[in-house]
Chain A
């Protein structure tokens, strides 16, 4: 059974009166959504607040009458994305590039000093490459490679057509390859 169908089951039963079913959806996606939001929000606390806000808003949306939910995951990301955009609109800041600190978090204890240094180097490359992309490209790359979203889902989240997402993604990857060289 595909993940989307099991999502639908969970959603249906949560709407039918089982709060725990929504709890399961939360458990399933909370880390991904948090990461997704973290890409844009520097403060962890803020990211956490926005994450729970995303889930609440999603519930409010799906519990409305006559709401058709085709893909719960895509809906959740779309709402999370909009929340982040709203957040910046409210605070008046520019959207931030990917947070540097995230790449420093990594600590692989099993590695030797040499490997550690190499790893750190690699991470710097990754960060640099991402930073050189524009925010739209960053977002696409993140959704594709970090969140494992399909083109169709990305289209649903960003509100674009599948075709244009595919093209934009292709370009973003091309640019990324250039940056990595």
Chain B
């Protein structure tokens, strides 16, 4: 596990009272098999992985289980509500997830329609309120609307996760201005969730000051998922380091980097 250090202080990342050194959260869907999932997660350096809650196949119990490949003691399982299109389904799913896993940290995602998979913020807000009353720590997938992000923080969400572009699109950060406004206004961690396609997209998110990035498809659907997982780890670390270093100001005209004095 490699950490970025600023002076003597390790640059840790805190969610719901727990410290993490990796700022990359990865999904565990879409891989060829569990072996590939485990290798990609390891190469990504992620300490938090998102998982889905589904019915057990009671007719065929010989199928391998994710927990046999990704040890829940080593990785923090972040149950999500992918596939839920209303608040009630999302709440029901996460109550089951809490019982299955025994922890309160969850990712809430309520989708609006099949075509865009854009978040339904009315249902998301309602679900978040119910879950927070039930003592869940809610990381919330949301639109890149700074007012909505603020509202989600005010009702008690522990992380705000606006999309960079539609889920699975790989288009990169389409709206850097709004992501930056959300980062500046938030007192809880902000993570770009969805839309990253390649390493530079992840670096852009981190250079905007995001606390982390969550992705799945960009790694799972790369030609070589394990190599891409490593690229994403480096991009998130590089982007974070650049953000902390403070980039040079942009200028309209050239500025020579060799001294002009003493020219022959």
| Same complex | no
* B interface residues, Cβ below 8 angstroms from A: none
- Hey, which bits of chain A sit against chain B, CB under 8 A? none
